[in-house]
Amino acid sequence: MKRLFSILVIATIMVFGAVNVNATNNVNALPASVVSFVQDEDQAAAAEEEVEEESLGFHQELKKRFIEGGPGFMGIVLLCLILGLAIAIERIIYLNLSTTNTKKLAQDVEDALNTGGIEAAKEVCRNTKGPVASIYYQGLDRADESTEAAEKAVVAYGGVQMGQLEKNVSWVSLFIALAPMLGFMGTVIGMIQAFDRIEAAGDMQPSLVAGGIKVALLTTVFGLIVAIILQIFYNYIIAKIDRIVNDMEDASITLIDMLVDYKNKRRV
């Protein structure tokens, strides 16, 4: 019995010892899991911040670089962009409103000329917008005098309309040339400032010239960007003007032919 009792006591102590060891291990493992969880949360938050920085990075980087370029030349370059875009958008709207269906207008004028005469054709031109309709009206207004007079009126008024189409376009080309020139001027001034710092310090250290060179390059980059943007709008405007001018020339020839046919029919 004493031996059995001793065995039971030893077994009981071993069981309780194993339970205590497991509890201790669980307690020790708990902080590690908590720390791992916190680290995972921190990594997830850092990843989200990186994603947000990437999504908003372009605008923030652009603003940062613009401020680093200095308010002097960067402000002038920005003013060139604003004024150039304002003029370009105004010209594009004007040219789009000036675009008409030349073939339909010529057909309407010819039908009105054959049915109602000069006054009916002039009424069609008055109710139609655009330079082609205005040229038609001027030619029809001189049709009673002679064909040569109508042709001279069409040519003269065509030059006036061309001037209206090209109004303020030269300012856009000026800003295209001015923006990179200002950028290059900022580059030269930044380089001069960098060499002034080297001369004042008496030592060639990268930290002395890095700031000036960076400002110099930023002004050049922004000047080139402004010139590229305005050049795209300028080429579109020029192409639009050329298309309208070609329509005006074709319409002028068509009008003179219509007037000649109309007068020949009246003589018969």
209-222 tens-digit pLDDT: 666 677 777 888 88
Confidence label for 26 from pLDDT (cuts 50, 70 and 90): very low
Helices (H), the chain: 2-68, 71-98, 102-116, 118-126, 131-141, 147-165, 169-201, 206-267
Cβ–Cβ under 8 Å, residues 248 and 158: yes
> What pLDDT shows up at residue 51?
45
58-79 tens-digit pLDDT: 567 666 666 666 666 788 888 9
The lowest-confidence range among 40-54, 104-118, 179-193 is 40-54
> What pLDDT shows up at residue 66?
60
Q: Does residue 185 carry a pLDDT above 70?
A: yes
Q: What is the mean pLDDT of residues 234-261?
A: 89
| C-alpha to C-alpha distance for 36 and 39, rounded to whole angstroms | 5
Mean pLDDT of the chain: 75
| C-alpha to C-alpha distance for 213 and 72, rounded to whole angstroms | 16
User: Position of tokens 């040519």?
Assistant: 155
> What pLDDT shows up at residue 24?
46
84-112 tens-digit pLDDT: 999 999 999 999 988 888 888 888 888 88
124-143 tens-digit pLDDT: 888 888 888 888 888 888 87
> What pLDDT shows up at residue 91?
93
CA distances for 95 relative to 174, 178, 205, 233, angstroms:
20, 25, 56, 13
140-169 tens-digit pLDDT: 888 777 778 888 888 888 888 888 898 899
Q: Does residue 21 carry a pLDDT above 70?
A: no
Percent of the chain at pLDDT > 90 equals 17
